[in-house]
Amino acid sequence: MGLSRSAERGAEVRGRLLVAAAQLIPEVGWHAVTTRAVAERADVGPGLVHYHFDSVQSLLRQAVVAVLSEALSVFPPVLSETASADAALGDMLAALDDYDGTDTTSLLFVEAYLASTRDEQLRMELSRLLEEFRVDLATWLAVHGTRAPADTAAVLAAAVDGVMLHRALNPGMTSSVVAPVLRRLLGDGDADAVAEGSG
């Protein structure tokens, strides 16, 4: 066996290009990511991009899928380790404070959603990724006695993304504000009544 050193370095450079692309998409917007900008960020010559990737669109697609599948893969283990529904939702929304709607991860998600409406292949891959996530979330919700777990999981996932979106335009939308309201989605009214009191 023994992949040649050249091949190893090649794979490493390919990875740097993917990382650079994933950084640039949120910064300048999907269509504004250029071969030269990606190459410069990855510290390689401009021609290398089209050696490792068929086209810019292909590079962006692979970069986005890699990062998002990585980001989503974090949740299942976290969920399985958490005992109560409240605690888990708390964790989820605390993590949401890191994603303030202007950070690279949030924006990459949204850019990916938009790009998927114009790239059939990306649409299918993203669709599969999100479905896996919803299934994991739904089974976890079912274990904790939430009604209609599949539907709840779908709406909860959507709501979290919506909150990320709005947060960039509504600074008051901290997790402490969102959490009590979103908790109602899980269907237990008592924790809700206790948690609130001030506006």
Note the Cα 20 to chain centre separation in Å.
Answer: 17
Give the three-state DSSP class for 139.
helix
CB closer to its own copies, 9 vs 118: 118
CB of 15 to DNA, least distance (A): 10
User: Alpha-carbon torsion 105, 107, 113, 117, what sign?
Assistant: negative
Q: Which residues, 6 or more positions from 128, have their beta carbon under 8 angstroms from its beta carbon?
A: none
151 binding its own copies? (CB under 8 A): yes
CB closer to DNA, 5 vs 120: 5
User: Alpha-carbon torsion 78, 82, 85, 89, what sign?
Assistant: negative
56 binding its own copies? (CB under 8 A): no
Give the three-state DSSP class for 152.
helix
145 binding its own copies? (CB under 8 A): no
36 binding its own copies? (CB under 8 A): no
**8-16, 57-65, 73-81, 144-152 -> range binding its own copies (CB under 8 A):** 144-152
Distance CA 96, CA 24 (A): 22
Q: How is residue 151 written in tokens?
A: 């539907």
**7-15, 58-66, 67-75, 186-194 -> range binding its own copies (CB under 8 A):** 186-194
Residue 145, CA distances (Å) to 86, 109, 153, 192 in order: 12, 30, 13, 16
Chain residues in the site for DNA (CB under 7 A): 2, 4-7, 9-11, 13-14, 32-37, 44-48, 50-52, 55-57
160 binding its own copies? (CB under 8 A): yes
**Sites of contact with its own copies (CB under 8 A):** 28-32, 101-102, 107, 110-111, 113-118, 123, 126-127, 130-131, 134, 147-152, 154-155, 157-163, 165-166, 168-170, 172-173, 177-178, 180-182, 184-185, 187, 189, 192-193, 196, 199
